[in-house]
Structure 1
Amino acid sequence: MKTTDVMQRLAGLGGAKWDLHFKAREMAAGGKDVIEMTIGEPDVPVPQSLLDTAARAMHAGRTGYSDGRGEMNLRVALAEDYSARSGRPIEPDNILCFPGTQTALFAVMAGVAQQGDEVLVGDPLYATYEGVIRATGAEMVPVPLRADHGFRMQAEDIAARITPRTRAILLTTPHNPTGSILTREDITDIGKLALKHDLWILSDEVYADLVFEGATFTSPLAVEEIADRVIAVSSVSKSHASPGFRSGWCVGPRSFCDALLPYCETMLFGNQPFIADMTEQAVREGSPVAAGMAARFAARAGRLAEQLHAQTDLRVHRPQAGMFAMINVGATGQTGEAYAMDLLASVGVAVMPGSSFGDTLPGWVRVALTIEDTRFDEAVARIVSHAVTRKQAVA
């Protein structure tokens, strides 16, 4: 039986990138002591108050059909929150609600790009971005994010890749996998290009509440000159340790949201009312767990860097936010993929090769910072031991 063009465009994406993760799971199932640092899950449960609110809403009958834009009570809460964050007025009709950031990004991308278009994305990138872009028929154009610029997207690198087919720039700030945060100056410079070439700016901001002490997050929504061409997507998945609830949204110009609404209604028709009530509470009250997660993740990244820099030739890029740290393993002479496989086989620590996130990081690996402290420190000790043993063997 034949399948459609979109099935062909998405063929081969996703699965192979996670081969090492699945191998680690198989080893653990077989009885091997494996410390899994491949996936970033919040290290705390969903706050009990949110579970209670969702349960009360279900029992109160909030289980019917939703408004296609999303429940008004949630959109009002989001509008007030984003107005405060951005310093400019955001209205409920500037917002559409979705089951998670991923769905929001999928819908938004369909509204800005199509067959024959190009979308610029920083490389390394979150694993699903290529599929989201390809699904529209557009082509993903990678923009290398360089370590010497802190893995922050640079306007000159974007400018070199803009063509008449370019329609949008997809930003991730704070960034996954590197944990970098675009500065206001970075965003302003990128915005000038968007204005010059009439481009949309899409901003994935799901880690905005997991910013480490000393760092500052600026949303492109807060830059007045480009605000009418910015669409931000986010959710409560990371900020409120609730990825399974699938509650996200996009914030953008009302004209764009109005135009996208029929597509959204055709696809999913809003989000679940009882989850919307829970999310309204989350937005209005703020997160009781985000600050603790950010502090623990920053501390773990610090211990990782201190131990590896003191005892090995491996070098850690210190993240400013998020759930991950990147390790440069170039001194080993191995690719990130070969190193990760060797690390897993030798000492039972599973990390993700940088090549799983694009072409820019062949000599890097990504480490999740969400492992509880005792196991995290054990993993760091194993990484150090592996590096020392391998260096001695080579010598």
Structure 2
Amino acid sequence: MKETAITERLSGLGGAKWEVHLAAQRRVAEGQDIIELTIGEPDVPAPTRLVDAAVNALHQGRTTYSSGRGEAGLRAALAERYSDRSGRAISDLQVLCFPGTQTALYAVLMGVAETGCEVLVGDPMYATYQGVIRASGADVVPVPLRPENGFRIAADDIAARITPKTSAILLTTPHNPTGSILTKADLNAIGQLAIDHDLWIISDEVYEELVFDGNEFVSPLSLPELSDRVIVVSSISKSHAAPGFRSGWCIGPEAFAERLLPLSETMLFGNQPFIADMTEMAIREGSDVAAGMAQRFANRARILQDRLSTETRLRVHRPQAGMFAMIDVSATGLNGNDYAFHLLEHGKVAVMPGTSFGDTVDDWVRIALTVDDADFATACDRIINHVNQLQLENA
């Protein structure tokens, strides 16, 4: 029987990237003592008030069909929030609601790219970006993110890869996996390229509320000259420790939202009303967990850098935001993939190889900062002991 071209385009982009994570989970299921630093689950449960709000909405009968755009109250709340944040008027007609950032990304990419197009995206990148771009039929064009530039995507590197086929630039700020934040100067330079070449800018801002003290987040949505070409995607997954609720959105030009609406309606008629009601409350009242998470993640990143820089030859890239830190493991003589499996086998710590996120961080691994302080301290001990044992074996 025949299968469609999309299945071939997405071949190898699913579970293969999570091989170390899955191997770690199998070992945990067998009873092994493994500290998992692989995925970005918040380190606190979803706040009780959000759960209660969703349950109350269920009891109130909020289980009917939704608008294809999303529930009116949630769209109004999002329009107000982004108007306040961007300093310019954002209408509820610029908002479409989806079940999570992932679905929003899928819909947006389907709306701006197709077969014959190219989408530029920083390498390393969030693990599903290749999939959402390839699903549209477009080609992924990686733009290397350089450690010496703080892993911030550089306009010159973007410019060198723009062709007549380029349709969009996909940004992540704050960035996953590196935790870097694009500056206003970065965005001005990238925005000028988008204007000059008539390109869309898609900005994934799901880590916006997990910015560490001393750093500043700037969205391209706040730059008036880019108002007709910026599309923001985000959700409550990280900011409100609510990934399982699957509640996200996109904010774009009104005409774009109107054109994307039939696709949204084809996929799913908005988000579920009882989840939309809870999300509206979350947006209007703000997060009571984001600040605490940001403080804890920043502290764990500091501890990781301090310990590994003084007790090993590993090099830690200090993140500015988010849930992760990147470690250069080239001093071990192993690439990131081999190191991750060796650490799992001999150090009992699970980390993600850099190659799960792109080709330019082959000698790096990503670790999650999301386990509690005691387990994180133990993980640091294990990583240090493992590296020192490797050095003895290779001496």
Give the match for residue 68 of structure 1.
68
Deviations 1:52-81 (A, max 9, x none): 111111111111000110000000000000
SS of corresponding position for 2:168: strand
Counterpart code for 1:182: L
Counterpart code for 1:89: A
* Residue 393 of structure 1: how far off its partner (Å): 2.2
Deviations 1:27-56 (A, max 9, x none): 112221100101110010111111111111
Give the match for residue 127 of structure 2.
127
Cα separation, 2, equivalents of 1:16 and 1:371:
24
Give the match for residue 11 of structure 2.
11
Cα separation, 2, equivalents of 1:206 and 1:352:
20
Counterpart code for 2:392: Q
Deviations 1:253-307 (A, max 9, x none): 0000000001110110100011011000100011000000000000000000000
Structure 1 runs of 4+ with >3 Å offset? none
Give the match for residue 218 of structure 1.
218
Counterpart code for 1:13: L
Give the match for residue 59 of structure 1.
59
Q: Report whether the alignment pairs 1:239 with 2:218.
A: no
Cα separation, 1, equivalents of 2:393 and 2:234:
47
Cα separation, 2, equivalents of 1:30 and 1:64:
43
Give the match for residue 230 of structure 1.
230
Cα separation, 1, equivalents of 2:371 and 2:301:
11
Q: Report whether the alignment pairs 1:378 with 2:372.
A: no
Which residues of 2 match residues 1-395 of structure 1 at below 5 A?
1-395=1-395
* Residue 16 of structure 1: how far off its partner (Å): 1.3
Counterpart code for 2:267: M
SS of corresponding position for 2:6: helix
SS of corresponding position for 2:309: helix
Counterpart code for 1:114: E
Cα separation, 1, equivalents of 2:362 and 2:105:
27
* Residue 228 of structure 1: how far off its partner (Å): 1.2
Counterpart code for 1:50: L
* Residue 135 of structure 1: how far off its partner (Å): 0.6
SS of corresponding position for 2:153: coil
* Residue 390 of structure 1: how far off its partner (Å): 1.4
Cα separation, 2, equivalents of 1:151 and 1:368:
17
Cα separation, 2, equivalents of 1:336 and 1:119:
26
Deviations 1:119-147 (A, max 9, x none): 00000000111110111110000000000
Task: Calculate percent identity across the aligned residue pairs.
Answer: 65
Cα separation, 1, equivalents of 2:362 and 2:292:
32
Cα separation, 2, equivalents of 1:24 and 1:10:
24
SS of corresponding position for 2:77: helix
Counterpart code for 1:258: E
Cα separation, 2, equivalents of 1:196 and 1:367:
38
* Residue 388 of structure 1: how far off its partner (Å): 1.3
* Residue 14 of structure 1: how far off its partner (Å): 1.9
* Residue 8 of structure 1: how far off its partner (Å): 1.3
Counterpart code for 1:264: S
* Residue 188 of structure 1: how far off its partner (Å): 0.4
* Residue 17 of structure 1: how far off its partner (Å): 1.1
* Residue 392 of structure 1: how far off its partner (Å): 2.1
Cα separation, 2, equivalents of 1:19 and 1:71:
38
Deviations 1:285-331 (A, max 9, x none): 11000000000000000000000001100010000000000000111
Deviations 1:124-171 (A, max 9, x none): 000111110111110000000000000000000000000000000000
Cα separation, 2, equivalents of 1:172 and 1:57:
33
Cα separation, 2, equivalents of 1:58 and 1:105:
27
Question: CA RMSD for the aligned pairs?
Answer: 0.6
Structure 1 length as normaliser, TM-score? 0.99
Cα separation, 2, equivalents of 1:230 and 1:171:
10
SS of corresponding position for 1:228: coil
Deviations 1:332-380 (A, max 9, x none): 1110011111111111000000011000100000000001111110000
* Residue 216 of structure 1: how far off its partner (Å): 0.4
Number of positions where the alignment pairs a residue of Structure 1 with one of Structure 2: 395
Counterpart code for 2:252: G
Cα separation, 1, equivalents of 2:17 and 2:114:
26
* Residue 394 of structure 1: how far off its partner (Å): 1.7
